[in-house]
Amino acid sequence: MRQQIAAANWKMNLTLQQGEQLLNEIIAKPHSLSAHQSAVFAVPFPYLPMAQAKLAGKTNVFVAAQNCSNKKSGAYTGEVSVEILQSVGIQYVVLGHSERREYFLESNQFLAEKLDICLASGMKPIFCCGEPLEIREAGTQNEFVAKQLAESLYHLSAEQLQQVVIAYEPIWAIGTGKTASSAQAQEIHAFIRAALAAKYGAAVADTISILYGGSVKAANAVELFSQPDVDGGLVGGASLIADEFVAIINALK
């Protein structure tokens, strides 16, 4: 069975003390992860060591960075390299979130460079893709997402691709309270898997975890995650509430 993942994206929220309290509350609540299930916490850069220490020894629980540089090292003030992340024990990094694409103009080609440097160092990327509202309304979301996949991922070998987690985010549903229906989520997740199968073969595509990201919450997680090609969620606002995120973890299939 593919790895099922509940990934929390804290974005630019919480003080260090609030983040520590949130993790304490999550740890204290009853939840369990089977061998094929993982929880990942993508926290702001300064909180990485705290989260690593707080979650140390927890089975199938990982800490992720929310971004990384496309450069290995050097005179890039304000940037954080994969080497720096690994030096504090980080194994996952979120790449290409729609907010990075929109606000910081990260292109598909730029993200391909980040993917390369992550994979060369053994880091596991959570690669985000997804369409804005005008693309969805035009009915061209499949073509839009296919272009993102082709320009950022298709230079990778099959072995490299299998180290990547894909997160599909309908941008129109992020932080808006709108959510793709479970049928809509399944439809495009199946399209993504079929696109990967066309490029790499069905056996490889079937191993890739594809997460849904877009107003996932406790109330809709079970239905979303029950879809055959939805392998968990990349969770924003609901991941900042202990009861909500624990319920989302427990909704993994």
Known catalytic residues are: 97, 169
Distance between CA 214 and CA 237 in Å, rounded?
A: 10
Question: How many C-beta neighbours within 10 Å does residue 12 have?
Answer: 7
Among residues 6, 1, 50, 2, which one has the least CA distance to residue 224? Answer: 6
- What torsion do the CA atoms of 202, 204, 205, 211 make, to the nearest 10 degrees? 160
Residue 122 makes CB contacts below 8 A (sequence gap 6+) with: 86
Coil/strand/helix, residue 5: strand
Residue 27 makes CB contacts below 8 A (sequence gap 6+) with: 54, 55, 58
Judged on CB neighbours under 10 Å (0-12, 13-18, 19+), 234 is buried
